[in-house]
Amino acid sequence: RKEVEQDPGPFNVPEGATVAFNCTYSNSASQSFFWYRQDCRKEPKLLMSVYSSGNEDGRFTAQLNRASQYISLLIRDSKLSDSATYLCVVNTAIMIYNQGGKLIFGQGTELSVKP
């Protein structure tokens, strides 16, 4: 079983749609959680951290369920510019790279938003 698993995708949606990404992780010792965005063959960029209480940033909402070891990302009113691959990322350390923690990436879910 992969340490971090995501929906296989790709997701093809019209502009304005709401899109949900799901992710599960296997290591119950995981402490910090993130969603990164990666455009075609470029470096990943942090979209948002994910907190137990859930957090929102504009059109983006992230949720974490530690009991189920499940993370989600919701994009509302999707834009053409949201087209990218979304990476679920988990770290075993509370502070990134501290105490030997390392980033574990999911395989990514590709999103294509059409006009």
Partner 1 sequence: GAVVSQHPSWVICKSGTSVKIECRSLDFQATTMFWYRQFPKQSLMLMATSNEGSKATYEQGVEKDKFLINHASLTLSTLTVTSAHPEDSSFYICSVPNGGGSTEAFFGQGTRLTVV
Q: Which residues bind partner 1 (CB under 8 A)?
A: 4, 32, 34, 41-46, 49, 87, 91, 95-98, 102-108
Shortest distance, position 93 Cβ to partner 1, whole Å = 10
Shortest distance, position 97 Cβ to partner 1, whole Å = 4
Shortest distance, position 47 Cβ to partner 1, whole Å = 11
**Cβ neighbours of 92 (radius 10 Å):** 18
The DSSP 8-state label assigned to residue 3 in this structure reads S
Question: With contact defined as beta carbons under 8 Å apart, do 83 and 112 qualify?
Answer: yes
Nearer to partner 1 by Cβ, of 20 and 94: the residue is 94
Cα separation, 107 vs 111, whole angstroms: 13
